[in-house]
A and B are shown apart, each in its own frame.
Chain A
Amino acid sequence: MEPERLPLLKVLDSPFLSLDGTSVEMASLLFLFLAVLVVAGTTWQRQWTRRAVQAVSAVVFFYVVYSCLGVFGMLRNAFHGTTLLGSVYSESCFWMALPVVAASVTGVAGPVFCGWICPTGALQDLAVALRNRLPKLRARATGPRLLVLGAVCLVFLALLVWLSVEKKMFVEDSSLHWAMGVLALCYLVVAGLVDDQAIRGLRLLSVGVILVTAVSRQLITSPTHFAFSSRGDPASALATLIIVLSSLLVSRAFCRYLCPWGAVTGLLARFSRLKIAHDAARCDGCNACNRSCAVQAVELGQVQVDQCQLCFACIDDCPKSALSLVDTWKPAPRPVETAPQKA
């Protein structure tokens, strides 16, 4: 028996029907940002709170925002929104809203999107948690191990080709290029042919590719757009799976090497109001901060702002409380001035 009245959600949605009902997506994401800004300030059980927010975010992205409001789409949509400025304002605002909100929040409060909201990051964190519980996965890569790993990758690639040639499913999608790129970089890092820190700049290459394709109207697919949850897109599902598995080799590998949004937030974070400060007097050099950081953005208390994802793990794990969150916009307390004494 269907309800007699219009569901409340639809009442709220109806003014935006012309925008294809996407206001629900927008509202959920804005709510996520607001929730993060509120809860990130509390120190009680912060990492568990972060995981809870990530879980909610993953649900939102899978079941509500299942499409191009993901990592790549945000950049592409922002560009598309600019092309509508001057003629169709509300539609322009719609396309630009999430990127503008995400960029603004990053500029003000740091890259909380990466550390708290991004569903790709959440899925990779799951793989990292698994990796931390399996010592064999963390063991040093040796020749035979690398050969086995390479063979597994090739077999996986052969499986993809077989799926495609036999028409089991349609996987020929550009999202696989991104995913296989991450896997290849992870393999090179594990094999020692490439240094982790040296290739972090590749994220800018991703930004370039996204912008060039957006400007030239070439349509490429993101490995992280989660369309597979709504319309059965096996290529995106496989690409996401590969990215998650890559995190078993190098934690949050996609964030480190190829995430275009990560590169943008990294640049914006330089101007962020909130920053992580290091108190050298308290630091005893145990490097617990480095061990807790999923993207190795901190060493001996020194934080790389453009790599940090503001998950606060380093602050929470520091045994000496040498790291803290500071508000750089807050004026320093003025020294107490005493009135000049009269002679």
Chain B
Amino acid sequence: MTLLALTLASLLGATDWPQSRGDAQNSAAISLDAPKCGKAKAWRFEGSGRVLGYEPGMTVWSSVALAQVDDRAVLAVGSYDHLVYLLDACSGQVQWKYPTGGAVAAAPTLWNDGQRVWLFAASSDRLVYALDASTGARLWSVAVEDYRPTLGGARLSSAVVGTVAGEPALFVGAWVYDRSLGASLQRGSVVALRIRDGHRLWTAALGDNEVAAPVLANVGGSARLFVASSDGTLHALDPSDGKTIWKRTELDAIRSPPAVVELPDGPVVVLASKYGLARALNAVDGAERWSVKTLDRVIGSPAIARLGDRWLVLVPSYDRHLWALDASTGAVVWRYAARAGVYSSPAIAADAKPPVAVVSAWDDALHVVDLATGHPVATVFTGRPLWDVAGLDSSTWSAPVVARLNGTWVTFAGSYDGVLRALPLEGAGAVAAGSDFSGLLFWLSFPATLVPLSLFAVWLTRRARRKAQIPSTSSGTARKGT
């Protein structure tokens, strides 16, 4: 059944978003023809603007998921303000929002079962929420760990939709920790939930480290669930029971979901680790095909794109480059240089003219790169980072996605300045729309700060000089000696 669903999705052209990056290749792209959607345009959305705190790896937005709901192209996004938003992808208008009990850092998942579109959101309140994407009504919610007052915020990954024993099921990566002295624990796992009612089908314990979003793929005629862990292990699981088929441990943490593709010479799973290594494995048995070492850590997911007869693996690296590798051999095809580390997973618009990949980098810019040549197409400033170390080790949070909405390619990117942007990729739209600068207000804040500071300093000086002139005081330069 899982296999049938995967095959059908690829044949029909998906109108939903059943995995964290849309599909097993992590292309983060979708094509929607929505009658209720006019011409796609640039827009920006700032949510509630209330960030209640911060933690390591904080970001304000999750990555987004797109789908067609009621003839409308919609976008689902989680936010650090604890809300899940559903927006009209064409206009940026809020359709509804749903409050969870914690920050929603993982990308939501949208799944069309033929009767309704489900939205699955995993929140750091330890709960997985199933919502009706049309109305925002809660269908069920399930906790992956029972509440205790000393439990830290759980880090739940995006959900992926598959089947277990013929029933639609949801697979969620979960990491919970309790660092109170009495109940010290860290636990990473994958949980399978029955979509109908949220009933837990199985739990696969994967050690004590954070796990990335699972990726479901068709491997040699069987469905496989690939789950990467921060202890550096990639697990290939059987989605029917959660048993490990094979696993491979890297030298350092894997913080992002791998990408899977069926090449002419066999299925391949590509992972990338914080050691900076991209490695392609035979997806059937985990045997190594090739590996390429980038010059710094890799946090974002690799993505796989088809360009004519060639398959390219795109690897974002903190060495300030987006690497394009040949999926069969690992040979470097091109390297695109940003001005700072590339932290996000790439989104691939393979049908755009020209075909492009979109990534975010620490130079506060969104880079649109020609997929064929690696040359820059556009660079868009996304605004200042909200926090100077946010996302250093985060996975696919706030990675851009692309969508063709009624023929127009648009990229959607949540930024660290708290703004979610939609930027048309074709024409001059991307360059013009994204150039957000606080501009005049920022520069006016200089005199507003410096003039009072200077006046205060002058006042302090005059006061000190007056005191120094009073005969009863010893001296204006009196010292507090030891």
Contact = CB atoms under 8 A, between A and B. Distances in A.
Interface stretch (A31-39, A42-50, A195-203): A195-203
Nearest to A76: B54
Given A87-B149, A197-B477, A305-B482, A181 B179 contact: no
Contacts of B477: 197, 299
Contacts of B57: 20
A217 interface: yes
A185 B457 contact: yes
Interface in A146-199: 157, 161, 164-165, 167, 170, 172-173, 176-177, 180-181, 184-185, 188, 193-195, 197-199
Given A185-B454, A194-B461, A197-B477, A80 B54 contact: yes
A231 B341 contact: yes
Interface string A274-317: 01111000000000000000000001011111100000000000
Interface residues of A, number: 66
Nearest to B54: A80
Given A20-B57, A299-B477, A184 B454 contact: yes
B451 to A, nearest CB: 9
Contacts, number: 167
Contacts of B384: 170, 172-173
A306 B479 CA distance: 11
Contacts of A201: 460
Nearest to A22: B56
A6 B181 CA distance: 29
Contacts of B51: 217
Interface in B416-471: 435, 437-439, 442-443, 445-446, 449-450, 453-454, 456-458, 460-461, 463-465
A337 interface: no
B114 interface: no
A7 interface: yes
Interface residues on B, range: 35 or more
B268 interface: no
Nearest to A177: B449
Contact of B179 (A80, A89, A197, A303): A89
Please report whether the interface of chain B is mostly helix, strand, loop or mixed according to DSSP. loop
B480 A2 contact: no
Nearest to A193: B458
Contacts of B252: 6, 10
Contact of B251 (A10, A217, A304): A10
Contacts of B81: none
Given A299-B477, A302-B481, A304-B480, A221 B388 contact: yes
Contacts of A56: none
A252 interface: no
A246 interface: no
A90 interface: yes
Given A2-B293, A88-B152, A167 B437 contact: yes
B461 A225 contact: no
A338 interface: no
B180 A188 contact: no
Contact of A181 (B392, B438, B450, B463): B450
A91 B178 CA distance: 11
B118 interface: no
B209 A199 contact: no
Most B Cβ at <10 Å: residue of A157, A176, A194: A194
A221 B388 CA distance: 8
Contact of A299 (B439, B461, B479): B479
Contacts of A202: 453, 456-457, 460
B373 interface: no
A314 to B, nearest CB: 12
B457 A194 contact: yes
Nearest 9 interchain pairs by C-beta? A232-B340, A198-B464, A302-B481, A231-B362, A302-B479, A198-B461, A67-B389, A172-B442, A227-B388
9 contacts: A2-B251, A18-B209, A20-B392, A67-B392, A89-B181, A91-B152, A197-B464, A302-B479, A303-B479
Interface of B: 51-54, 56-57, 149-150, 152, 177, 179-181, 186, 209-210, 230-231, 251-253, 274-275, 277, 291, 293, 320, 339-341, 362-364, 381, 384, 386-389, 392-393, 435, 437-439, 442-443, 445-446, 449-450, 453-454, 456-458, 460-461, 463-465, 476-477, 479-482
